[in-house]
Every structure is written in structure tokens, then in C-alpha cells.
Amino acid sequence: MSQAFDLLLVGLLIACAIAVIRTKDLLGATIIFSAYSLVMCLIWLHRGAPDVAMTEAAVGAGVTTVLFLVTIGRTVRRER
């Protein structure tokens, strides 16, 4: 069971990484990147490192996502 959960998490991690690379919309990429950070948080927690998991959740999924969203909100979209 544990090995299947590990494989599921790694699969989700790879899927999120590929989705971030392929996404053209910055807002969508930011949301997917946040999901990537949350999956990393679950991996750290499952591997027995709750302190690293909490740091990943706070910095990776929390602060970084907010900074990206604020930056995207302050930019102006220009279309050709």
C-alpha cells in the first residue's frame, strides 16, 4: 500500500511539472505550481519529515503563490 501511494504521489508530481511547463496562461501555471508544492508537502510528510513538509507548505504553496498572484495582478496584459 505504501509503495502504491509513493507511486501515486510521484506520478502527480511529474504530471504537475509537465502541466506547468505546457501551460501558456500565467495564472493557470501559478495554480498548478501551487498544487506541485502541495504534492511535495505530502511527499515530505509521508517520508517522515513533518518539519520540512510544513516549511514547504508555508513557503512553497503559501508565500510563493501569493507573491506570484500579486505580481500577475499588477502586470498589464498586452495582446498583439
Q: 27: domain range?
A: 2-74
Mean pLDDT value across the chain: 90
Mean pLDDT in residue range 49-64: 91
Q: 47 lies in a domain?
A: yes
Mean pLDDT in residue range 38-45: 93
Q: Are 41 and 60 in contact (CB under 8 A)?
A: yes
Q: How many domains does the chain have?
A: 1
Q: 79 lies in a domain?
A: no
Q: How many angstroms separate the Cα of 56 from the Cα of each of 3, 17, 32, 39, 40?
A: 22, 16, 15, 10, 7
Res. 77: pLDDT tops 80: no
47: alpha, beta or left, given left = phi > 0 and alpha = psi -120 to 50?
alpha
Q: 80 lies in a domain?
A: no
Q: 43 lies in a domain?
A: yes
pLDDT grade for 80, boundaries at 50, 70 and 90: low
pLDDT grade for 1, boundaries at 50, 70 and 90: confident
